[in-house]
A and B are shown apart, each in its own frame.
Chain A
Amino acid sequence: MLILECPYCGVTGEETEFHGGGEAHIKRFGPGSSDADFETYLFMRENPKGVHFERWRHVNGCGKWFHAARCTMTLEVFGTYSAQTFEPPKEIKDAISAKRPGWSWREFS
């Protein structure tokens, strides 16, 4: 039973207040994109063992979407941050590096 902190309303709540939204930082491909790009966008997932970036919504709360950096092996949460960004902020990356030196995820590390 996870606890997460919503970066928008500052509530640290239990999992049942939130709704998981799958992998974060996925680029949308629309009309005109290649079949492969579109498949990747909709279906292909990192699904890593270890550091992962994912989307959550504070559904029983302020209703905002946010991102979390979490380890899928230990469930350790490195931090949560705004969903309105294209990549994890520096302080989040630093927090991960402190715990998981040499980590990498897609183009981030």
Chain B
Amino acid sequence: MSELRSALAGAVFDGIAKVQEAGLCGMIAFRGDLSATKVKNAVTGVTGVDMPGQRGCNVGGDNGLAWMSPDELLIMVEHDKAELVLETLAKGLKNQHYMAENVSDARAVFTVTGKHAAEVIAKLAPVDMSTFSVGEIRRTRLAQVPAAFWMHGENAYTVVCFRSAADYMFGILSMAAQEGSEVGVFG
């Protein structure tokens, strides 16, 4: 196996919050009839987490399921498991109209953590962070690029965007987290 590189090789910025590139994560873009039992069983089977409802995001360790749209899920697994999972899904969903594509490397993943993490995101996304909570995913834009985020703990957010925009995302998150820029309105 050749050397694998994530977009920014774990770059870190420390300011009013800590911004870090999370490295490679296994991600599968899944499209299909989310109400079909066959589908539910297949996706929960490969992740071991519950089926999320509208805008829901259930994460357990490296695994997770995020509701992306009425006919789309984001399946999260360990990076080197993604291809395997695709095969498992294929077996489980024979003769079922669905689509599952490995997009692990098409994405860049960041964590934003610390007391002011929510403020950092609120500087970039047109979203009410005062009511945002664990178990939700929000697809929106951060400044000028599409992105999605969810909470993976207290004052801890995971942000996902396209890999090619990783540099930009790190740049704007770092700027939003610059020293002396606390807003002081959340919590």
Interface residues of A (CB under 8 A from B): 8-11, 13-14, 16-17, 59-64
A contact residues around B54 at 8 Å (CB): 9-10
Let me know if A62 and B139 touch, CB within 8 A. Answer: yes
Interface residues of B (CB under 8 A from A): 54-55, 68-70, 72, 126, 138-141, 146
Q: Give the dominant DSSP class at A's interface.
A: loop
B contact residues around A63 at 8 Å (CB): 69, 72
Let me know if B139 and A60 touch, CB within 8 A. Answer: yes
B contact residues around A10 at 8 Å (CB): 54-55
A61 with B70, Cβ < 8 A, contacts A9-B54, A10-B54 known = no
CA distance A69 to B140 in the complex (A): 23
B contact residues around A60 at 8 Å (CB): 139-141, 146
| Nearest 6 CB-CB pairings of A with B | A62-B69, A60-B141, A14-B126, A61-B139, A60-B146, A8-B70
Q: Residue A16 contacts which of B68, B69, B70, B141 (CB distance < 8 angstroms)? A: B141
CA distance A10 to B126 in the complex (A): 15
CA distance A9 to B146 in the complex (A): 16
Let me know if A17 and B126 touch, CB within 8 A. Answer: yes
